[in-house]
Amino acid sequence: MLRVLGRVTSINVRKVLWTLDELGETYEREDWGLPLRDPKVPQFLTLNPNGTVPVLIEADGFAMWESNAVMVYLAQTRGRLLPGGGHELGLALQWLGWQSSELNPPWMYAIHALVRKTPGYDDPEKIAESIARWSAKMRILEAELAKGRPFIAGADFSLADIALGLSIHRWFQTPFEHIALPAVSAYYALLRSRPAGRAFMPEGMS
């Protein structure tokens, strides 16, 4: 049986779980990742030397890590959730990469301060700066979605929508005064109308 190692509170783990649900795959999930189970132990580090979640383990024992790569691997091997080629494939890969490399880093300070309440993350200027940089990235997404495509890469739902949906969910679940982003809000509602979207973007879990 296919296995996923990782706590469900992790966005990177939920990217893989949502992908598996959309693909109709059955799998077992094991809670790994702090505070539930420390992944920086030899048993886990042999599977992923970074000591991070998620890790995917196929039924034949093949193991891999790095959430975006896992998503693309699953889509390619199961033949769904990525456009077959052309411009739509380019756009899906572009937005998938942008989610992890551009959209997510700015929120770090704000999430520690406002959601995790991590000691030492209480500087109002740094919180405001984090939110300003995060908002600037969200405006890029707003402008793209306002062009009217239902999904980020075109007419069809793809992996990029999963990754972006989870980041948008975090945006709405983090308590601060949000700028108005009507196209992002409509897209979020569309993604949450999918059963797996609702399951992996629950109220109260950022």
Ligand X SMILES: N[C@@H](CCC(=O)N[C@@H](CS)C(=O)NCC(=O)O)C(=O)O
Give the Cα separation of 44 and 46 in Å (integer): 5
Q: How far is the CB of 15 from ligand X (least distance, A)?
A: 8
Residue (39 or 83) nearer to ligand X, CB = 39
Q: Whose Cβ is closer to ligand X: residue 76's or residue 150's?
A: 76
Measured in whole angstroms, the distance separating CA 113 from the mean position of its chain's CA atoms is 20
Count other C-beta atoms under 10 Å from residue 14's C-beta: 26
Interacting residue with ligand X among 19, 67, 158, 206 (CB under 6 A)? 67
33 contributes a contact to ligand X by CB under 6 A: yes
Residue nearest to ligand X (CB): 33
Among 5, 12, 107, 165, binds ligand X (CB under 6 A): 12
β-bridge mates for residue 65, sequence order = 55
Check residue 34 for interaction with ligand X (CB under 6 A).
yes
39 binds ligand X (CB under 6 A): yes
In the complex, least distance from residue 1 CB atom to ligand X, rounded to whole angstroms: 21
Which residues contact ligand X by CB under 6 A?
10-12, 33-34, 39, 52-54, 65-67
